[in-house]
Structure 1
C-alpha cells in the first residue's frame, strides 16, 4: 500500500495532480502582495461608503487581535469581551467600546472566557527551546472585574482549547513530536498569526498562499505521530486521555451547553479526511458528523450554535463549485444545507444567538476560484425554498435553503493571510473581527443595522 509520505512525494512531483492539494483551483502564481493601505492611522469610526453601515475601531494598539472564531470571548452576562494586544490581554466594555488592560505581558496567552464565571483563561509557557506547543504550560484564570488570578492546572505539552459548560473540565490536545506546518518567523506571526506557508510548485515558482498552505498541510498530515485528546479536572487536577490516534487532530471544543459533549476535527487535506467528529468526555460515543458522497467534497471549520443544539460547517459539493453552510441538529439528526453564492463564501462563518442569523468574513480569489468579489463582511439570512406542495417533506432527508447576503463592511483592502475570525456580539447588533485594512492589525466592529437617514 502506498504510504502518505510516498504519496506526497509523488504528488508534489506530478503537476497534473498538484491541484488536489489545494482549497483553490487558481493557477500557481507568486505569493500575493499586500494591498495598498491608506496613509495615516486607522480611523476610529466611519460609515462604509459601499454599504452604509457604521464601522468602529475597537482596539487601541496596533497589532491587536481577536480569539479564534468559535472560542468564547464574552462574559456570561454578555457585557465584556476579551481581546489580544501587544501589551497583553485587554477587556472591552461593549456598551461603550471602552478598552482597559486586563493583564500585562506578551507571555500571557489569552485562550477563552469561562462559561459560568467572569474569568478569562490564559496560558503561560515555560521558557525553553523549540516550539511552544511542546513545552510545559501553566493555565490560569483572571477575573475581569477584580483581576484576581487563580491557577487552573498544568500540562506537560500541547494546548488547552476549551472549558466545558459547567466549567469543571478543561479540554486539551497534544501531538508528540509533530513538526510545525512551517517554522514560524516572528514577522509573519505578528502580521498574520501564522506562518507564511511558503512553498514552490513543480515549475520551481512560488505558490500562492492557499496552495502553499495546502502543501504544508499535506506534509503534516503525512507525519503519523501519536496524538491525544484529554481533559483536565479543574478541582482535582486529574488528566484523562479520552482519544488516541496517529491522525492529525485539531479544533477540540466543548459544547456551550452540554458539559460532556466534545467536537473535534481530523486535520489535513479537506478532500481526504473524515473531518468532523463528536465524542463524550468519558471517551465514548465517537461519531462522524458528515459523510462524503462525492469526489472532492470538502467540509470543515465546524462550530456549535450558541444554544448547543446544532453543529454548523462549511460544505462544498464539490470543492470550489457549490457552496453551503450545512447543519446537523444533534437531538434529532435533522440536516439543513443553506446555499450561497461563491462571492458570499467566507474563511469562517458564525451564528448569532437567535440561531438563524449567520455571517461570513469573506475571502479572496486565491482561496475561492472565480470569486473575485468576495472580500466582504456579510450578513447571511436563510430563505426556505418553498414548493407548492410541502406534504412530501421528510426530516430524514436534507432540507435545502438558500442564503440572502447583505454586505456590511468592505474588506477589499484586507490581506486574507490574516483571518478575520468574526463573531456576533451577544445582542446580535454588531459583528466583531480583526483586519489589516488600514495597515496594522486592529479589532473592528460593524453595526448590523444600516445607519438611518
Structure 2
C-alpha cells in the first residue's frame, strides 16, 4: 500500500503503576483506579468491545498521555502500564479478536491489526478518499475483520448540537458500506451497500458468520439494530420499532446468539425506559424496566446485568441479578459511584469482565479528564444498597 505504518520507539515501553484503591463510600465495594496521569485522558474500550486478555489479567486502555491517543495495556495485579502502539496518528475504533492476541483499530485512513505480544502491525485496508470508518469487529473464528464505512459530508463537524447533527447526517443519506477484510490479507468483500448512514459493526463471539451493524440516526427515527449473515449476505432488522419506540446501544451476550440493548416507549420528555435481550433472529425477546433513557447496559448472560445508571439522578453503576424462583430481575443494586454529571461529561460505558466478577468504567471524578476504574462485584449482592428510582 506504500508508506506503511511503522511503530515508534515507545512501543513496548513500560510505565509505573498509577493505580489507587478505595472503598466506595456508599456501597463498600472495592474500587481500583487504574490510571491517574493528571495530563492524560484515558479510557477503556467502548463498552461493546472485549478489552480483557485471555487470562483476564490485563486490560486494554486508550490514552493520550503523550499528546496523541495510543493503545496501552494495564496489568490488573501489579498496575504496570505497557504502551502497545507508538504510531504517527491517533488510533480509534479499537477492538480485540477474542480468539487471537490481536487488536484491530483505525489509524488515520488505515485499518490496522496489532499483534499484542510482539507488537508488529499490519495494514489490512485503506479507506477510500471521502469516507470515514467506524468501530471494527473480528469474527469469532479470527479470520476476518468487519467494519462499516460511510461517506464524509459537508455537514460533518459544523454543528455544536450533536442531536441535530445526527439528524442532519441521517437525512442526508450518506453512501455507506459494510465490508469484511481477511486477516491474512486480501481484497475486501462488500456485504451491504446503501445510501443510509450505516455504522458500528459488532461480531458474534461464537458464530463467525453473524454480525450486527446499526442504521445511525435519532433512535426514534430508525430501525437501528440490523443483523448480517456474512456467508449469505442476508440482512434483517433484529428489533423493529413501532412509531412510539426507540432502541439502541446494542451488544452481543457471551452465547453469541443473544443481543442486548436498551430504549424507551413514548417521547423523550416523558419516556417509559427499558432494557432488553433478543435472539439474533428476532425471537425470544424480553424487556424489563430501566431507570432512564440516557445510559448503557452490558451483560454476559441473563444472570447479571450492569447499567451505567444515568446522569439524571443516578450517577452510579447498577446491577440487576436474575431471580430464578420469581422468573424476574431483583430490584437493582448500587455498585459504585462514577459521578457522571451530564451528556458532555465522560460516559462510564460500564462493562462486565468475562467471568462476571468485575466492572470496568470510565469517569472524570478524579480530575478534568477521564480515567479508568475497575470495581469488584461482591459474591453476595444483598449487602449492596437497593436503588429505588431516579429523578428524570
**TM-score, L = length of structure 1:** 0.71
Alignment gaps of 5+ in structure 2: 1-17, 384-392
Residue 382 of structure 1 corresponds to 322
Q: Structure 1 residue 60: deviation in Å? A: 4.2
* Distance (whole Å) between structure 2 residues aligned to residue 430 and residue 292 of structure 1: 33
Q: Structure 1 residue 423: deviation in Å? A: 1.1
Residue 4 of structure 2 corresponds to none
CA gap of 1:60–1:90, structure 2 versus 1, over 3 A, is farther
Corresponding position: 1:158 with 2:132: yes
Alignment gaps of 5+ in structure 1: 1-41, 126-135, 184-196, 199-211, 366-372, 387-399
Corresponding position: 1:124 with 2:107: yes
Residue 103 of structure 1 corresponds to 85
Residue 218 of structure 1 corresponds to 167
* Distance (whole Å) between structure 2 residues aligned to residue 90 and residue 106 of structure 1: 15
Indicate if the aligned counterparts of 2:203 and 2:211 stay in contact, CA closer than 8 A. yes
CA RMSD of aligned residues (A): 2.7
Q: Which has the higher strand share?
A: 2
The 5 A counterparts of 1:290-309 are: 290-293=239-242, 295-309=243-257
Indicate if the aligned counterparts of 2:19 and 2:36 stay in contact, CA closer than 8 A. no
Residue 131 of structure 1 corresponds to none
Q: What are the Cα deviations for residues 171-217 of structure 1, in whole angstroms up to 9, with x where unaligned?
A: 1211123346535xxxxxxxxxxxxx63xxxxxxxxxxxxx332221
Indicate if the aligned counterparts of 2:352 and 2:358 stay in contact, CA closer than 8 A. yes
Q: Which has the higher helix share?
A: 1
CA gap of 1:99–1:312, structure 2 versus 1, over 3 A, is same
Residue 256 of structure 1 corresponds to 205
Corresponding position: 1:360 with 2:307: yes
Question: Secondary structure at 2:201's aligned position in 1?
Answer: strand
Q: Structure 1 residue 258: deviation in Å? A: 0.7
Residue 73 of structure 1 corresponds to 51
Indicate if the aligned counterparts of 2:227 and 2:280 stay in contact, CA closer than 8 A. no
CA gap of 1:45–1:164, structure 2 versus 1, over 3 A, is same
CA gap of 1:338–1:162, structure 2 versus 1, over 3 A, is same
Moved over 6 A (4+): none
Corresponding position: 1:94 with 2:76: yes
Residue 177 of structure 1 corresponds to 152
The 5 A counterparts of 1:390-401 are: 401=328
* Distance (whole Å) between structure 1 residues aligned to residue 143 and residue 315 of structure 2: 40
* Distance (whole Å) between structure 1 residues aligned to residue 352 and residue 377 of structure 2: 9
Corresponding position: 1:446 with 2:338: no
* Distance (whole Å) between structure 1 residues aligned to residue 341 and residue 379 of structure 2: 22
* Distance (whole Å) between structure 1 residues aligned to residue 340 and residue 111 of structure 2: 39
Q: Structure 1 residue 450: deviation in Å? A: 8.1
Q: Which deviates the most, 415-424 or 61-70? A: 415-424
Question: Secondary structure at 1:221's aligned position in 2?
Answer: helix
Indicate the structure (1 or 2) with the bigger Cα radius of gyration. 1
The 5 A counterparts of 1:19-98 are: 44-61=20-37, 62-86=40-64, 87=66, 88-98=70-80
Question: Secondary structure at 1:225's aligned position in 2?
Answer: coil
